[in-house]
Structure 1
Amino acid sequence: MKQVFKWSVLSLFSLQMFTSTAQEVVPNNQSDFNPIMYRQGTPFRSALGQPGDQYWQNQADYNIEANLDPVNNTITGHITLTYHNKSPYDLDYIWMYVEQNRFTETSRGTLTTPIMGNRYSGDVDGGCDISNLQAKSNKRSKASSKHIISDTRMQIIFNDPIQAKTGVATVSMDFTYKIPTSGMDRMGRLETENGTIYSLAQWYPRVAVFDDVKGWNTEPYLGAGEFYVDYGNYDYKITVPYDYIVVGSGELVNDKEVLTSTQINRFDKAAKSDDSVYIITPDEVNDVAKTRPTQKGTLTWHFKMENSRDVAFAASKAFVWDAARINLSSGKKSLAQSVYPKEVSGTDAWGRSTEYTKASVEHYSNQWFEYPYPNAVNVASNVGGMEYPGVSFCNSKSKGRGLWGVTDHEFGHNWFPMIVGSNERLYPWMDEGFNTFINYYSAKAFNNGEYPNDLIKGRNNLSYYNSKNREGIDTYPDIVNTRNLGNTAYRKPGVGLIMLREYILGAERFDYAFKEYIKNWVYKHPQPSDFFNAMENGAGENLNWFWRGWFYGTGNIDLAISYVQPYKGNYVIVLENRGDIPMPVKLKVTYDDDITEEKNIPVEIWQRGDSWNYLLKTNKKVKSVEIDPNKILPDINSSNDVWPSEVYEN
């Protein structure tokens, strides 16, 4: 009876275990691989990550005449906007940005700046005055002066709607404002030994974007969030005292009126030279007889630029000026230029600025997409570093590696977001992060790595990835803690794209998809979903797990080798995903004869769970095994990447 009872208990226990196991739901990681965000195609945006066959985009053309008064530090101007409504909707009104209104005591930007200030603190004694506004939705409609200014936005209301698809409206107005000294590290005034350098940006009222995703994009100009503006053609004139030099976005079209014959000849020489040629030498600064075609009154500098989303300019009588040709494979001409005060003109500082500008633009043109603008002008400024189409403002105190880094970064922005026009005010990772990524390769290429880029060296930045205060890449720039912005907008997305290129897809697949993304969105407005779709379609890879884990989360990577053991004449390598983000596993196996072999294990091993047994077929004795031998991944725990552990310790 005892033995029967024992058997019955064991049988019951086994049956209970079987029943319990049969009813259990086996946990898996499917949620990590599920689609992220709504990414179905529409007539406007294809599921391929391309503009759809009914994609539309409005156009804004500008004619601007402005006067710079260095005595009172003011800009006074007149603007005529020609607005082309290519959307399928009639528009009763449009929204424009008046971003000089940021520089007042009561602006939203001022009131949301911490008491102690930050990089985006600015003057508060400014603001833009608008007068004589006239708006017509077509040639026959009656002009309207109705407008409402709300902080940095201005709504203009027409008497008749702008017709869908073909409507053309005109808006004209006068504007004036005091030029801030401290313009939120984006514009302003720099005092030098020979005069003030004016860096002018966000200097005219400009139309906001009306798109198929949000309608009117009217986020206020607060600080960290940059810009989202439409493309169009620009014709602008800047009037300054006769002894001032003006450089700006686009092409100077009246050079014979504002330059001397000597300067024109020097430009001709620079257009044929790979070395910098002085247009104004350090010794000629403030020598009006040698540098200006007249010695009285004012001069008007006339610029034009096509298919641009903005224009900026700089003016001063303190400029040293040099230039060199930019070599473009198509045969089109472009010119690198630099303007800077003579006190920073040495070859350890701004004397190399044009060399840096030329190298940067040539690299990105050869690697990704050809530079479309006639000039690339670097301006020594009180601005730490800020980009506009064809013009960059960089800190006048930068030199050597620092000047290379800021120059390369700001001119890289001509690709993101000047050529590919993403929404910087909401998605800074689509311009700052993409640019940080391409900067990594540009630095490697320049002078065989004269100034190494250490973005991924030694698995940098692990302290941030482990910080309890970290935030996701998708955090809006005006919301993110300013101490985290460098990571959420720049470094983390930059590292993510390096991982995608070097570790996940490989250079060939990545480059094809990335170039297709650029080509398809030139002078257009992609959204994050468009980028995700473009990369997945172009590379042929489902990357939901990567976008969710790295771009839309705060989790970390921690791949591990639990142990390695012999198995039927081969070896079993037990791998674990101890982090939050699945990743393919690249293994370097070293045998006892010191011959190495690399094994690539796909990310799908983590779909069912967080542990995987990998069968290594070999007739050799394994000496060591290492995950990610090139240290591309920012794995937060390197100690479990190597077996046996003493290999790591040694």
Structure 2
Amino acid sequence: MHCCRRATAALIVLLGCLPWLAQAAPAPASTCPTIPLAAANAAAVRAPSAPDAWGGPRPANAATLSDRVVAYSIDAELDPVKHTVRGKQQLTWRNRSAQPVCSVYMHLYLNAFEGPGSTFMTEQRASEQGFRSNVPTKDGEYGYIRLDKVVQGGQPAKWTFVQPDGGPKTDRSVIRIDLPQPVAPGGSTTLDIDFFDQLPRVVARTGYYGSFHLVGQWFPKIGVLELPGERGATTPRWNAHEFHLHSEFYADYGRYDVRITVPKGYTVGATGQLVGTPIERDGKVTHRYMQDDVHDFAWTADKRYAKPLVKTWNGPLGPVEVKVLYNPEYESNAEPVLQATIDSLDYFSKTLGPYPYKTATAVVPPYGAQEAGGMEYPTFFTADSTDTVTPGSLQRYMLDFVTIHEFGHGYFYGILGSNEFEEPMLDEGMNEYWDQRMMTARGQNLVLTTPWLRWFGIGTRITPFDMERLGASLTDPADPLGANSWDRLSSASYGTVYSRTATAMRQIEALVGTPAMARAMKLYYERWKFRHPSIADLRQALAEGTGKPDLVNAAFDAYVYGTGRTDDRITQLTSAEVLPRPGYHTYQGRQVLVSSQAIEKAIERYRTRWTQQHPNAKPWQGPFPYRTVVVVRRDAVKPPQTLRIHFADGRHRDLPVTAQGSWQRFTLVTPAKAVSAQLDPDDRIRMDANPLNNGRTLTAQPQAARRWFSELTALLHSLFVLLATL
């Protein structure tokens, strides 16, 4: 360490010479086989997990909701002036594998915000679209987590920083800890860890602003040891990725017992239930929160919180305490957030499965801390905040939607335990789909207007799923939906994980029928709750539950595992009378040549006689039938759909479009003339890149220009939704 004594402080930091930045790590003991890390390109699992993965489906009479692997006992003390947290953690971890384990991997997420050398901030600089509000971090506003001690059974453990995804060597969001004593197969070990947090100025859903503190990604958190048959693993492997710009979390289920000490006068909210009465001593108050069968823990503290808004929701598994924390400037937000949370509890419990916890806490971020909004943790989430809560306004729509969206993560990220690093579609995308189902069930369409236009009752009404479709990059998708969260063309491409997944799932629902999709999603939830499913497990559940495996598999191959583009369009529509033609005709057993002049005279006589015989005929009626020809062109992915031809007599014919070539021609002879043709008349093919070319009329119609305006305004709003939910 002589170099550190001679170097300047800045050089010390750059060289990583401070003792707490890295410790020399010995090679793992030879008694332990090497357990590799999940690959940096891991994503889009294709092989379904084994039936007994993660201990198998959880039976109704199980003693615990999850097969608990970890237990965290943490003492944390907040200094709200320096914005620091000093923590002592006792982590107990169980080795589920059949081999000894000599090294474990842990996440130090908070180091993503320590400076420009982290993977997170490196990717942020390279991002084309920025991130959330993209508020720059100034000097003195960075944050980090420091390990001060790791002890196993009284013996100190050594650790070193690693970059599993090939990120910069200056990234310190993952460490390998080499254990003094191996953990035997099926055995457990306990690590005593001292750590120190310097919270950043609120950024990417954690940090401080004034007296407000949102403490997320704040403690050393062990990675997941996956076994063969779990999420595509064929041998034991550690799953512990760097903290990327768009990635979030993945961890084992277990028990959290956390004691939070804050100055007197601060209100605390956290994951789980408050146990006992807070203990006051020396001007400080300690709050104890506990929660079983979750895989993360976050909390908040602020001396400016108003009296929390609290209500009890009586669910199928018993009462749930619903709480909203807010600052006085956003008092008007509290009631809408509370109601949206209660409505979400009801909807998700009925459509997926009963909410299994006893609390649900929502936080409305204060003015100036908007970057803290729109984030989820088990039983605890942050909503949006707005100055306008008028029903029907864009701001109220966003307040309700973000509340529903963040609550919904409690199912897709929380109870199902999706791997948000490798398969963000399973959380962000599937959650977005179910949120929009709930918004649709609420009848909560978006109305784009202005105050003075609203006074005249003027506005553009857009359904939730129409809004999603317009932001789904259907014309030129850059990445498969199943790709991981960081190996993507751009932030905009990552954003399609939300909207494009919701659109693809809506298409599957439309094609198989809503009752079938409802059954399939309940099957998925019941089979995989507390078990970490993969994309292949979702596909299998949807195929079984809908009874339409061919349709489901085709959609997954096209959109989830590939970048399939659908664009069916009508390129020809003609409808003309079928008239006699000149030439040889058979008459009384002989071939007779009929001239054009003779045919024209015969047609005229026939028309005159028919008109005399049908004086009250409708305009569309006549003596001759009509031949209608429609040509449909098909590009890339070709889902089955319907062509509807409308006729002048008010009738229509539905014809199946099933050709897997580049075109399909339809020819009909009918009494009435066709007036228009429409592909997908029931709006089931949600992935169609250009719905405007799906229809054709014999005469020009002005509706298309109005539809272009509607689509443009909806697209603008979809961008707002993306920024709010990323």
TM-score interval (norm. to shorter): 0.7 to 0.9
* Residue from 380, 390, 399 that aligns with 2:364: 380
In structure 2, what residue type is equivalent to 1:466?
T
2:154 equivalent to 1:133 = no
Instruction: Go from structure 1 to structure 2 and tell me whether the alpha carbon gap of 1:571 and 1:336 turns closer, same or farther (over 3 Å shift).
Output: farther
Q: How does 1:592-603 map to 2 (within 5 A)?
A: 592-596=648-652, 598=654, 601=656
* Residue from 307, 310, 314 that aligns with 1:327: 314
- Offset at 1:392? 0.9
Partners of 1:326 and 1:522 in 2: how far apart? Answer: 22
2:685 equivalent to 1:626 = no
In structure 2, what residue type is equivalent to 1:322?
L
Other-structure match for 2:190: 170
* Residue from 464, 469, 473 that aligns with 2:473: 464
Partners of 2:380 and 2:137 in 1: how far apart? Answer: 21
2:427 equivalent to 1:408 = no
* Residue from 115, 118, 122 that aligns with 1:111: 122
In structure 2, what residue type is equivalent to 1:168?
S
Residues 516 and 534 of structure 1 are in contact (CA less than 8 Å); yes or no, is this contact kept in structure 2? yes
Q: How does 1:261-300 map to 2 (within 5 A)?
A: 297-300=283-286
2:75 equivalent to 1:65 = yes
In structure 1, what residue type is equivalent to 2:288?
H
Of 408-417 and 395-404, the range deviating more from structure 2: 395-404
Partners of 2:517 and 2:95 in 1: how far apart? Answer: 36
Question: Deviations along 1:164-218, whole A, 9 cap, x unmatched?
Answer: 2x211111111111111133x2111133xxxx11111111111111113451112
Partners of 1:327 and 1:564 in 2: how far apart? Answer: 61
Instruction: Go from structure 1 to structure 2 and tell me whether the alpha carbon gap of 1:397 and 1:643 turns closer, same or farther (over 3 Å shift).
Output: closer
- Offset at 1:647? 6.8
- Offset at 1:309? 1.0
Partners of 1:648 and 1:631 in 2: how far apart? Answer: 20
Residues 468 and 502 of structure 2 are in contact (CA less than 8 Å); yes or no, is this contact kept in structure 1? no
- Offset at 1:622? 4.5
Other-structure match for 1:83: 93
Question: Deviations along 1:338-387, whole A, 9 cap, x unmatched?
Answer: 111101112xx334221121112221111112211211111122213111
- Offset at 1:67? 0.5
- Offset at 1:533? 1.7
- Offset at 1:545? 2.4
* Residue from 158, 161, 166 that aligns with 1:149: 161
Residues 427 and 476 of structure 1 are in contact (CA less than 8 Å); yes or no, is this contact kept in structure 2? yes
Partners of 1:358 and 1:403 in 2: how far apart? Answer: 14
Residues 95 and 207 of structure 1 are in contact (CA less than 8 Å); yes or no, is this contact kept in structure 2? yes
Partners of 2:92 and 2:242 in 1: how far apart? Answer: 23
TM-score by length of 1: 0.77
Other-structure match for 1:274: none
* Residue from 204, 214, 217 that aligns with 2:239: 217
Other-structure match for 2:646: 590
Instruction: Go from structure 1 to structure 2 and tell me whether the alpha carbon gap of 1:79 and 1:429 turns closer, same or farther (over 3 Å shift).
Output: same
Partners of 2:267 and 2:648 in 1: how far apart? Answer: 70
Instruction: Go from structure 1 to structure 2 and tell me whether the alpha carbon gap of 1:610 and 1:395 turns closer, same or farther (over 3 Å shift).
Output: same
Residues 212 and 304 of structure 2 are in contact (CA less than 8 Å); yes or no, is this contact kept in structure 1? yes
* Residue from 268, 290, 313 that aligns with 1:304: 290
Other-structure match for 1:636: 689
In structure 2, what residue type is equivalent to 1:631?
D
The secondary structure found in structure 2 opposite 1:457 is helix
Partners of 1:234 and 1:426 in 2: how far apart? Answer: 25
Other-structure match for 2:584: none
Residues 436 and 465 of structure 2 are in contact (CA less than 8 Å); yes or no, is this contact kept in structure 1? no
Question: Deviations along 1:396-448, whole A, 9 cap, x unmatched?
Answer: 44652221121111111111111111110121111111111011121123376
Question: Deviations along 1:265-322, whole A, 9 cap, x unmatched?
Answer: xxxxxxxxxxxxxxxxxxxxxxxxxxxxx79611111111110011111111111210
Instruction: Go from structure 1 to structure 2 and tell me whether the alpha carbon gap of 1:580 and 1:316 turns closer, same or farther (over 3 Å shift).
Output: same
Residues 327 and 362 of structure 1 are in contact (CA less than 8 Å); yes or no, is this contact kept in structure 2? no
Structure 2 spans left out of the alignment, 5+ residues: 1-43, 59-65, 163-171, 390-395, 448-460, 579-623, 704-726
The secondary structure found in structure 2 opposite 1:606 is coil
Residues 98 and 152 of structure 1 are in contact (CA less than 8 Å); yes or no, is this contact kept in structure 2? yes
- Offset at 1:37? 7.0
Instruction: Go from structure 1 to structure 2 and tell me whether the alpha carbon gap of 1:447 and 1:238 turns closer, same or farther (over 3 Å shift).
Output: farther
The secondary structure found in structure 1 opposite 2:632 is strand
Instruction: Go from structure 1 to structure 2 and tell me whether the alpha carbon gap of 1:612 and 1:316 turns closer, same or farther (over 3 Å shift).
Output: same
Partners of 1:617 and 1:359 in 2: how far apart? Answer: 53
2:208 equivalent to 1:189 = yes
Of 244-253 and 149-158, the range deviating more from structure 2: 149-158
* Residue from 572, 581, 598 that aligns with 2:637: 581
Partners of 1:648 and 1:70 in 2: how far apart? Answer: 64
Instruction: Go from structure 1 to structure 2 and tell me whether the alpha carbon gap of 1:459 and 1:315 turns closer, same or farther (over 3 Å shift).
Output: closer
In structure 2, what residue type is equivalent to 1:81?
L
In structure 1, what residue type is equivalent to 2:474?
Y
Residues 555 and 579 of structure 1 are in contact (CA less than 8 Å); yes or no, is this contact kept in structure 2? no
In structure 2, what residue type is equivalent to 1:394?
A
Q: How does 1:361-380 map to 2 (within 5 A)?
A: 361-380=345-364
Partners of 2:427 and 2:48 in 1: how far apart? Answer: 24
2:519 equivalent to 1:515 = no
- Offset at 1:648? 5.6
Q: How does 1:510-589 map to 2 (within 5 A)?
A: 510-540=517-547, 541-542=549-550, 543-561=552-570, 562-563=572-573, 574=630, 576-589=632-645
* Residue from 496, 499, 517 that aligns with 1:491: 499
Other-structure match for 2:181: 160
Other-structure match for 2:609: none
Partners of 1:172 and 1:573 in 2: how far apart? Answer: 77
Other-structure match for 2:104: 94
Q: How does 1:245-264 map to 2 (within 5 A)?
A: 245-254=267-276, 256-257=277-278
* Residue from 433, 439, 463 that aligns with 1:437: 433
Of 355-364 and 407-416, the range deviating more from structure 2: 355-364
In structure 1, what residue type is equivalent to 2:563?
T
Residues 359 and 446 of structure 1 are in contact (CA less than 8 Å); yes or no, is this contact kept in structure 2? no
Residues 231 and 309 of structure 1 are in contact (CA less than 8 Å); yes or no, is this contact kept in structure 2? yes
The secondary structure found in structure 1 opposite 2:383 is strand
Of 624-633 and 430-439, the range deviating more from structure 2: 624-633
The secondary structure found in structure 2 opposite 1:360 is helix
Instruction: Go from structure 1 to structure 2 and tell me whether the alpha carbon gap of 1:37 and 1:210 turns closer, same or farther (over 3 Å shift).
Output: closer
Partners of 2:208 and 2:493 in 1: how far apart? Answer: 25
- Offset at 1:129? 1.6
The alignment-based identity, stated in percent, is 24
Instruction: Go from structure 1 to structure 2 and tell me whether the alpha carbon gap of 1:390 and 1:545 turns closer, same or farther (over 3 Å shift).
Output: same
Structure of larger gyration radius: 2
Partners of 2:520 and 2:293 in 1: how far apart? Answer: 24
Q: How does 1:32-43 map to 2 (within 5 A)?
A: 38-39=46-47, 42=50
* Residue from 203, 222, 239 that aligns with 1:207: 222
* Residue from 259, 272, 278 that aligns with 1:237: 259
Instruction: Go from structure 1 to structure 2 and tell me whether the alpha carbon gap of 1:619 and 1:89 turns closer, same or farther (over 3 Å shift).
Output: farther
Q: How does 1:6-25 map to 2 (within 5 A)?
A: none
In structure 2, what residue type is equivalent to 1:239?
T
The secondary structure found in structure 2 opposite 1:125 is coil
Instruction: Go from structure 1 to structure 2 and tell me whether the alpha carbon gap of 1:335 and 1:361 turns closer, same or farther (over 3 Å shift).
Output: same
- Offset at 1:390? 0.9
